[in-house]
Structure 1
């Protein structure tokens, strides 16, 4: 499952814990008649590429759609609210923005080459996605790349 589809599942609920998302992926695989994939790999990749963002919300670590995602529901995705016993969560966009800023700032020091270029693109996506000004992060990336 690609990052946009993972973001679509999470977006359907506003935010999901990692175990809730993994359960959703298992349910979708069952509905399709497939063997479930190892969801950890896909979730880790989606986090790494900013399709998903991890935030603390009401004493839980939630995954929410990230700045590069164009959330899209996979096949059988609309059935998930009927299958999972998960209430919708409304994660504040400023909380998400702060998490993205913090992560970008922490990655700048080690970013080089292709990763630095990718993170530059993420900064522009993030500014369109949430109330952020990431000029300082772009400057740091330009210096380090």
Structure 2
């Protein structure tokens, strides 16, 4: 987990992304607001300070690196029932009004950070199930769109990251990312 300590690298470490994935995995799926609260609670338990900007940055990096992935609301259920889109107590839209949840992504090796085992007792977050087929389709679509954006921007570093993700996603779900990978590698080798 990234903290407010001095560092030359503002991006969280790989372990931090895996810690994020571990927290998400603890509940099956969480909203961005729920993950932010969980990270704040962990910081409090450790008697450290983490500001909201550091938490948001850690989540953004986790999403960008495919350690945690946006999950369509339609792919999330609680006790077999779909998440109610009209629930007034549902904060899944959070401050950014993003109507998605977050789930463990293909580039993660989820690990529970110290003290996280108490989070289900601290937070009022239900255990959620995620439809893996719907999630893998959404992640593959996002990977394709991200690849096109990186190609159009000429962002070789991003393309290299996405090339790695094409291998990760094939190990993570029964999808074929080879066409995306070939396009990325052709652009990198260009």
Give 1:9-88 correspondences, 5 Å limit: 9-37=23-51, 38-57=54-73, 58=83, 59=85, 60=92, 61-88=100-127
C-alpha distance in structure 1 between counterparts of 2:20 and 2:134, whole Å: 20
C-alpha distance in structure 2 between counterparts of 1:144 and 1:22, whole Å: 36
Q: How many residues align?
A: 145
1:100, distance to aligned residue in structure 2 (A): 1.2
Residue 109 of structure 1 contacts residue 144 of structure 1 at CA under 8 Å; is this kept in 2? no
Residue 72 of structure 2 contacts residue 135 of structure 2 at CA under 8 Å; is this kept in 1? no
From 144, 156, 159, the counterpart of 1:113:
156
Q: TM-score when scaled to structure 2?
A: 0.73
Q: SS of 2:70's equivalent? A: strand
More helix by share: 1
Show the counterpart of 1:144. Answer: 187
Residue 50 of structure 1 contacts residue 68 of structure 1 at CA under 8 Å; is this kept in 2? yes
| Two-structure CA RMSD over aligned residues (Å) | 1.2
Residue 53 of structure 1 contacts residue 99 of structure 1 at CA under 8 Å; is this kept in 2? no
Q: Unpaired runs of 5+ in structure 1?
A: none
Residue 56 of structure 1 contacts residue 62 of structure 1 at CA under 8 Å; is this kept in 2? yes
C-alpha distance in structure 1 between counterparts of 2:156 and 2:34, whole Å: 35
C-alpha distance in structure 1 between counterparts of 2:27 and 2:46, whole Å: 21
